[in-house]
Amino acid sequence: MAMNDWGDQAEGLRRMQTGLSRVLAIASGKGGVGKTNLAVNLALALAARRKRPLLFDADLGLGNIDVLLGLSPRFHLAHVLAGEKTLAEIILPGPQGIEILPAASGIADMANLDVRQQSGLLDALAALEKRYDYLILDLAAGIGSDVLRFSQAADHVLVVVTNEPASITDAYAYMKVMRRDHGLQNFWIIPNMVRDAAEGEKLFSRLAAVARQYLELELRHAGNIPMDPYLRSAVRTQQPLLQRFPDSVAAKAYRALADTILTWPAPAMPAGGGLFSTRLLFEEDQSG
């Protein structure tokens, strides 16, 4: 399907509104906080609960989920943008039943999609939704335009943060932009690589207090992921932690997070308006 044909896929957007697929955006203010590992292992944990997740590497120009899993995709999003492949044709089978939508890596144009291309990509994702229970978006770090638009399209935004000043400051900056410029109010915080539950609670409380005072946001705590010495070994062997070391402390935390997510009700209207409203925002931008 050519890129310029995507704008006509309103039917896919209407299907996304049925709630058949939950869209989870995994975000962070800065890189290096473990966001991709969390996205991958969360997908595996949901698959183990008999859910069907699609893991989308939404760091469009610097995707690395395929590297993390030892996969070698023949086709990726650049081929879709060129009209050579559809999204369905580039999906890769992953471990334990998950499926992966690979990004391109090292292609600068992928990180600079215009509004029409971003909206077209969301339309095409919506057309896939009936095949999956969860669509997990592993976003790029920071506040690029693609990150903001994908965040708007999500039912739930999960912000990964570590107990270091740059991570906390950048996570706050991301939520500030989403709140001030795009009206998002619902964020789930996941303290990652913490020493214990007390450190995770303290980190969440500190970020929540600042967000409440300066952004008028009530953040929610999705759970903590502890520091785990087995994670680095799993990364080196290009296997997800849940597969390589299923009894490790972080693996148990990923499964607990998946169980928590399974309790979240499907919103009547996804946070920020969901994919359909993202399409409407695009049309308003064009008409204005």
| pLDDT band with cut points at 50, 70 and 90 for residue 105 | low
Task: Give the pLDDT score at 126.
Answer: 75
Task: Give the pLDDT score at 86.
Answer: 84
Task: Give the pLDDT score at 191.
Answer: 98
Average pLDDT over residues 154-180: 95
Higher pLDDT, 104 or 12: 104
Q: What is the pLDDT of residues 196-206, one digit of tens each?
A: 999 999 999 99
| pLDDT band with cut points at 50, 70 and 90 for residue 265 | confident
Task: Give the pLDDT score at 95.
Answer: 92
Higher pLDDT, 112 or 64: 64
What is the dihedral sign for C-alpha 114, 117, 121, 122?
positive
Average pLDDT over residues 70-83: 79
Q: Which of 44-48, 86-90, 175-179, 227-231 has the lowest mean pLDDT?
A: 86-90
Task: Give the pLDDT score at 280.
Answer: 41
Mean pLDDT rounded to a whole number for the chain: 82
Average pLDDT over residues 43-54: 96
Give the position of tokens 């965040």. Answer: 151
pLDDT over 70 at 137, yes or no = yes
Higher pLDDT, 97 or 123: 97
What is the dihedral sign for C-alpha 259, 265, 266, 267?
negative
27-31, 68-72, 116-120: range with highest mean pLDDT: 27-31
Question: 136 forms bridges with which residues in the sheet?
Answer: 24, 55
Percentage, residues of the chain above pLDDT 90 = 50
What is the dihedral sign for C-alpha 1, 16, 28, 36?
negative
Higher pLDDT, 17 or 78: 78
Average pLDDT over residues 73-102: 85
| pLDDT band with cut points at 50, 70 and 90 for residue 167 | very high
Task: Give the pLDDT score at 14.
Answer: 36
Task: Give the pLDDT score at 122.
Answer: 73
| pLDDT band with cut points at 50, 70 and 90 for residue 61 | low
**pTM of the predicted structure, to 2 decimals:** 0.84
Q: Contact at 8 Å (CB) between 147 and 44?
A: no
pLDDT over 70 at 148, yes or no = yes
